[in-house]
Structure 1
Amino acid sequence: MNPRQRRGVLFLLAAAALSLAVFFAVSNYVKDVDSQVGPRITVYEVAKPVDAYSPLGASNLHAIEVPRRWAARTAVTSLRELEGRRVSFPLATGTVVTSDMLIPSTDLSPTEREIAINVNSVTGVAGRVRPGDRVDIVAVFADVPGLPKQARVLVRDVRIVSIGGQQTITVDDEGSVANTKDVVPVTLALEPEDALSVTYAAAFAQEVRLVALPGDVGTNRSREVDEFDASDLGGKAIPEEAQ
């Protein structure tokens, strides 16, 4: 093989190697583009602002298609899974709904009822409780006519169903300038009679607190007191005069 032939063979080999490199580069590019534009899946985004605890459905959601690569792993892909479900915090227009935004479905017994009360970082045990935990509910009565100023255990061993995100609410102080405060809604599973007492306390008591319980709390709590007032400190518990 003369020098000219050898150069020809080398050029052919170089051309073949370059062709292979171009082929693999184009293949990778096409694969990357395909992963961005397809396959696509259907997800649901908020069509108009949704307030906390408002039900989701066709009226406030619409379907969009996005590349599977860019969809969140928790994105909900079926409208049936979203119909009637609620979220515990407001959603802005354009928010893609994911499963971790949804309030868990109820698992109440036939005799239980759900109610929600607002707590803060102090009355809610500073974020130390989670859904499924058990708590006592204590109310502090100080300004209710006809009742002594006292702290009273309303219900023992209550199951927490869910805990919402922090919200800012406006509070009117008897005609004065409105103030705002940060609260966290906590949903509780209660028997109907207990639900009424907690609802009353949430409306009229000075404060309603959650008291966290140890995980291995026993059933015998007979020695725990249910009420505490001035008489327990050696004073006299005087009911507020009726107005």
Structure 2
Amino acid sequence: MTGSSPSRTRTSHRGACVRKRRPRSSRGYFAASAALAGAAVLLLHGYLSRAAASAPPVGPTVAVAVAAEPIDRGTAVAGSQLRLVRIPQQYVPPGAIEDISKAAGRVLLAGLSPGEVVTETRLARVRAGPVASLVPRGLRAFAVPTSLVRGAVIPGDRVDILATFGSGQPHTEMVVESVEVLMVLSSDGSQHGKSGVELDAEAAGASAPTMLILLVAPDQEERLAYARAFASLEVTIVPSE
């Protein structure tokens, strides 16, 4: 009969101790993990509850007309270009159109992108002429003859108007700066650029090779009228930004 050595006995004893301790360590690890997971869930729930409580109430919704496609300025709006969507009442802009029929047939004073709400400020008056329908409130349309070649200027460009006075002390002065071109008319009866309306340039009195219809303020209108009566006008094109 062979006896076991003391060292082997001690090794076996330590292995048994290790095997006995491992289950207790694993149980502690899993218990700690479960506690941390529970704490994380409680923290997340508390955060979501506070976020929901602090969010403003949406409230009732209202149907408003929005552009269903890009619509250029000067376009007579068709009902098929609009659609109704419901948005929270608190986000409805002032003057929003709630009935497509109230916008159909009216001319846009400013272009619309898809999804933009149609408002009264974007639409011309119900009964307005082809030029008046494009003039924003507070501005005027003023015709200025120019010798610029056809196609050099299109609606939306900005120009400066210079006046050269020949009597008395001849001099040149700036009359208006960076005013917007509303329309470009030619004496051959053609109209250049996208304005969305038809206009007979010859009937409008476009005797010069090109006639620019400019958007100006009332005080600019007076200066232009004086300069046109007593000076020679020149148009310079403002670079696009």
Scaled to the shorter chain, the TM-score interval is: 0.3 to 0.5
Could you say which structure has the higher helix fraction? 2
TM-score, structure 2 length as denominator?
Answer: 0.40
The higher radius of gyration belongs to 2
